[in-house]
Amino acid sequence: GLGYRHVMATLALLLGFVMSVFQAGITVGIVSMTSKNSSNTDFEEFDWPSTGKNAILSSYFWGSLLGSLPAGYLGQKLNVKFLIMGGTLVDSVLASLTPTVARAGGWQGYCVLASLQGFVASLFAPGMYILVSRWAPRIESTTLLGLANLGAPLGTAIALPVCGLLAKGPFGWPSIFYFGTLISLLWTTIFFIFGSQSPSESRFISDAEKEYIIVNQNKTVAQKAPPIPWGRLLTSRAVIILFLAEVANGFGSGIMQSEVPSYVHDVLDLPIELVT
């Protein structure tokens, strides 16, 4: 039946939603910030070159790539709850600073800010997997991880049109970034109260469910980890196929998230509220 482990998986789903809101803020924001035909003329627009706009869009992913290298290690060594919370808080602050940085530093300053956002956001995905793995019984791990993975596509589907409407609204394009900040702070508060990195540390889980999770998890004997066979690992057909599949998936989703709003607006000449 349903238990507190499903609450934690839902919180992980909402973490993916928050991550998508930050990404949508950049992709829709860059269109509304630089649109000469914006439907909301009460807020300043920037005359940035296309190379600058493309650099901003790619900076988030470059930052995420660099941050993903230490993210998994940090998630294993540190308290994953506070690691994720720290990431969402920092990204909230960075998102709220976007209008100020864009005005003061131009597209170059925004590139730095976007790369920092991506670097910090790289903590989210490995943190989510580590969190769910500690809460999932062996026979339910696929189901709970699948639930948690719904957050990112769900967030993209909702955040893109919402950001377009916010850009058109009375508070203009800055409200896109304040919306991301608000959503992130709300999630962080909920997670601080109800979340924990393992069943043994939770105040809300029942004793019966805690025992069920612990008994039905994969157990490892505490001993020195064996050396990693890097040669066999990197030449394994299964690893290569999985790597190529992940690259293809990341490329496709990255194009959809970062380029579609700009394409629909710049090429199809649709207003900002319809770019999504």
pLDDT single digits (tens) 131-184: 999 999 988 888 999 999 888 888 888 888 888 888 888 888 899 999 999 999
Q: Is the Cα torsion angle 131, 134, 135, 140 positive or negative in sign?
A: positive
Interval 24-35: pLDDT, tens: 889 888 888 887
> Which domains does the chain carry?
4-274 (1.20.1250.20)
Across all residues in the chain, what is the average pLDDT? 86
Handedness of CA 252, 35, 172, 95 (dihedral sign): positive
What is the tens place of the pLDDT at every residue in 96-132?
999 999 999 999 999 999 999 999 988 888 888 889 9
User: Of 133, 141, 148, 142, which Cα lies nearest the Cα of 198?
Assistant: 133
Residue pair 187/15 in contact (Cβ under 8 Å)? The answer is: yes
Would you say 82 and 201 are in contact if contact means Cβ atoms under 8 Å apart? no
C-alpha to C-alpha distance for 261 and 275, rounded to whole angstroms: 5
Say how far apart CA 276 and CA 2 lie, in whole Å. Answer: 35
Q: Contact at 8 Å (CB) between 82 and 192?
A: no
Number of residues assigned to the chain? 276
pTM: 0.84
Dist CA 156 CA 158 (whole Å) = 5
Give the residue-averaged pLDDT of 33-52: 74
pLDDT reading at 69 higher than 90: no
